Chains A and B, each alone.
Chain A
Amino acid sequence: MGRAWPRTAAFVTIWALALAWVGAAAAGSSTLRVVVAKGQRIPIRVAPTGGDSSLAGSARDLLERDLQISGWFRPLAQAEAGVHEAQTTLTGDAALRLEGRVLLGGEQVFGRAYQGTTETARAMVHNLANDIIEALTGQPGFAGTQVICSSDRAGHRELFVMECDGGNLRQLTSDRTLSLSPQWSPDGRRFVYTSYANRFPDLVLVDADSGRRQRIAAFPGLNTGGAIAPDGARLALVLSKEGNPELYTMSLGGGGLKRLTWTRSAEASPCWSPDGSQLVYVSDDSGTPQLYLIGTAGGRGKRITFAGTDSNAPEWSAKSNQVVYASRRGGRYQICLWDPSTAQEQQLTQDGASHEDPSWAPDGRHVVYSRREGGTTQLRILDTWSMDEIGLTRSPGSFYTPHWSSR
């Protein structure tokens, strides 16, 4: 269990939620795990939630959605013989008790109970989902992790955050100007974004727990593309103060500004390699935007994408060691992967919508991206193994540049 619960809760500051083990705790034992081939899913029936709580129906639906989004389960509409069945009971009013069990062939293979309040009800269900996922697959779940994005839902472009099932959407800024391209720090405790609150594009660092904001780069010209390094101490960014948009790094504590590129072209969208030794970024040095790699010592970037009209918005997963990006193929942006070990490009999506700004889930398997179709742009999750997709947002408003938190 460990991974998901305390870190998720820390973000939403639900200190009060006490997590209780109940009997049948033997459930997590590895002998009960199901071996799942890549891209295959365990059929599971999520039964209606019992108990006297008014939230019972929502608890069932959320558990089912969490299990589906995890990529490990295929929810069934009806119970079937020989298939896993998840049973839940939610009791209480202000103080809630959630009991969860998974049965297979009449035998209990998982059981655990959780205590909380109405305010922590979503977190309780996410924790149950993550515990079921871990018990049955051996893989950590990511239910309840946060997706931050920019949206015009409130008129101006403001920052929003939601849980990765699309629920609990909250507006973070009310600056009534442009708030763009938010990116979490690797530990998910801070994020950086481009703010026009001072009329020009500046980089602002936000402490997620306290809400404290600090303007960290406000040079003349462009200050954008902020990406926090794996060590949490450095920032990659794009500045134009020397007459052209170029790639820089700096210390998040201020100072240590270092210029990495020297071009006559536009650089954009830096992203760190998992070991912090390289950056993948966008440059139109060749005439069209393409992905490049550069060491943090600087020098000359090495072009890595060649297929497609242009390639943009790279993000490198520490978990799967894959770079996901959006590449224009036949006039539409498609989600693609670049494999650092083979230097191969692979196109994932095919359909006629425009797929932009992909961001990895903590599992290194799913990505959230913005899908533009018919005048609206909405967020979707893509399972890069099965190509299954799930929608996260809907009108009013469009949603852009999602970034998935580690917690």
Chain B
Amino acid sequence: MRSSRLLLSGLVVGALMIGGLGCKRKSLSRNTDFVGPEGGLSPLGAPSDMGIGGQPLDARGTGAPLTGELRTSSGDRYYCDNSGRIIGMETARWGNWGVDLTGRPLGGETPNVLFAFDSAAIQAPERPKIEAVAALTEDESYRTVGLVLEGHCDDRGTEEYNLSLGERRSLAVREQLLGLDVASERITTVSFGEAYPVDPGQNEEAWRKNRRVVFVVTQ
């Protein structure tokens, strides 16, 4: 079985041989000096089949991303980066958000849905972004696309709480989309917690941008 091929015990013994006692003589006053050298960098065994709740990847709605410019029959344009993330929207009814594919600002701020600190409530100014994305999925050219809603947090708070909070944000956007008659099977949520900030700064402006749900369009 592939999973038993790489044994953690072998890893550890190997690391001890490299990283054992031998190499250094350090003074206790510099109390971080005992960090051993890295060794045994082999991976763990590959995960075996799922236990309970297993879902094949496709069932989670992760088709290949749609990239580039998506133009609807009404002339609205949506710009997606190479990962399918919407980076800009130019719409007659819901306004302009973000940037086009060349990075040119379209007049409004990010198309990501932004949130208050420790909150998953949809704020009124964010609602047009959700309506614009719902309209994209209703367009005749895009009736089969899927949406992945990536929930993110600022890096205040613990990782585990932020995973749950990011998921709540994704689910809040999902609820709004369901209310706009987007079918639930087209929507997938994923929380990344605080792992992927758009701005690593430690200030209000950075945190505000990081508390977000990102729309990803998939085939």
Q: A and B bound?
A: yes
A154 CA to B38 CA, complexed, in Å: 10
A168 CA to B59 CA, complexed, in Å: 41
CB-nearest residue of chain B to A162 = B36
A57 CA to B25 CA, complexed, in Å: 6
A57-B25, A215-B51, A266-B120 known; A170-B15 Cβ under 8 A? yes
Instruction: Contact check, B21 vs A121: say whether CB atoms are below 8 A apart.
Output: yes
Instruction: Contact check, A266 vs B41: say whether CB atoms are below 8 A apart.
Output: no
Residues of B within 8 A of A204 (CB): 47
CB-nearest residue of chain B to A180 = B159
A170-B40, A400-B159 known; A257-B164 Cβ under 8 A? no
B8 is contacted by which of A172, A198, A391 (Cβ under 8 Å)? Answer: A172
Query: Counting CB contacts under 8 A, is A199 at the interface?
Result: yes
A156 to chain B, nearest CB (A): 10
Query: Counting CB contacts under 8 A, is A321 at the interface?
Result: no
A174 is contacted by which of B16, B43, B163 (Cβ under 8 Å)? Answer: B43
CB-nearest residue of chain B to A62 = B21
Residues of B within 8 A of A118 (CB): 17, 20-22
Instruction: Contact check, B195 vs A178: say whether CB atoms are below 8 A apart.
Output: yes
Q: Mark B117-149, 1 if CB is under 8 A from A, else 0.
A: 010100000000000000000000000000000
Instruction: Contact check, A217 vs B8: say whether CB atoms are below 8 A apart.
Output: no
Instruction: Contact check, A201 vs B16: say whether CB atoms are below 8 A apart.
Output: no
B166 to chain A, nearest CB (A): 8
Residues of B within 8 A of A175 (CB): 43
Please choose the segment from B27-35, B73-81, B93-101, B102-110 that sits at the chain A interface, where 4 or more of its residues have CB less than 8 A away.
Answer: B27-35
Give A359-378 interface residues, CB cut-off 8 Å to B.
378
A169-B36, A223-B53 known; A213-B45 Cβ under 8 A? yes
Give B160-201 interface residues, CB cut-off 8 Å to A.
160-161, 163-165, 167-168, 171, 188-193, 195
Q: Mark A175-217, 1 if CB is under 8 A from B, else 0.
A: 1001011000000000000110111111011111111111111
Query: Counting CB contacts under 8 A, is A294 at the interface?
Result: no
Instruction: Contact check, B158 vs A172: say whether CB atoms are below 8 A apart.
Output: no
Please choose the segment from A37-45, A106-114, A134-142, A242-250 that sits at the chain B interface, where 4 or more of its residues have CB less than 8 A away.
Answer: A242-250
A114 CA to B13 CA, complexed, in Å: 19
Instruction: Contact check, B44 vs A172: say whether CB atoms are below 8 A apart.
Output: yes
The interface size of chain A toward B, counting residues with CB under 8 Å, comes to 104
A26 to chain B, nearest CB (A): 29
Query: Counting CB contacts under 8 A, is A313 at the interface?
Result: yes
Instruction: Contact check, A241 vs B53: say whether CB atoms are below 8 A apart.
Output: yes
Query: Counting CB contacts under 8 A, is B64 at the interface?
Result: no
Query: Counting CB contacts under 8 A, is A277 at the interface?
Result: no
Instruction: Contact check, A212 vs B3: say whether CB atoms are below 8 A apart.
Output: yes
Query: Counting CB contacts under 8 A, is A356 at the interface?
Result: yes
Q: Secondary structure at chain A's binding surface: helix, strand, loop or mixed?
A: mixed
A157-B195, A168-B36, A170-B19 known; A282-B161 Cβ under 8 A? yes
A170-B15, A199-B190, A241-B53 known; A401-B48 Cβ under 8 A? no
Most buried by B among A54, A208, A222, A238: A222
Query: Counting CB contacts under 8 A, is A4 at the interface?
Result: no
A152 CA to B32 CA, complexed, in Å: 18
CB-nearest residue of chain A to B7 = A211
Instruction: Contact check, A310 vs B118: say whether CB atoms are below 8 A apart.
Output: yes
A267 CA to B195 CA, complexed, in Å: 19
Instruction: Contact check, B45 vs A257: say whether CB atoms are below 8 A apart.
Output: no
Residues of A within 8 A of B48 (CB): 212-215
Instruction: Contact check, A200 vs B60: say whether CB atoms are below 8 A apart.
Output: yes
Residues of B within 8 A of A64 (CB): 28
Residues of A within 8 A of B47 (CB): 195, 197-198, 204, 213-215
A378 is contacted by which of B26, B32, B60, B120 (Cβ under 8 Å)? Answer: B32
Identify the A interface with B (CB < 8 A): 11-14, 54-55, 57-59, 61-62, 64-65, 68, 75, 118-122, 125, 153-154, 157, 162, 165-175, 178, 180-181, 194-195, 197-202, 204-225, 238-241, 243-245, 250, 254-255, 257, 265-269, 282, 284, 287-289, 310, 312-313, 326, 356-357, 378, 390-394, 400-401
* 24 intermolecular pairs with C-beta atoms under 8 Å apart: A12-B9, A12-B12, A55-B22, A58-B24, A118-B20, A121-B20, A153-B38, A154-B41, A167-B34, A167-B35, A171-B41, A174-B43, A194-B163, A198-B57, A211-B45, A213-B45, A214-B48, A215-B48, A215-B51, A224-B160, A266-B168, A356-B158, A391-B32, A394-B35
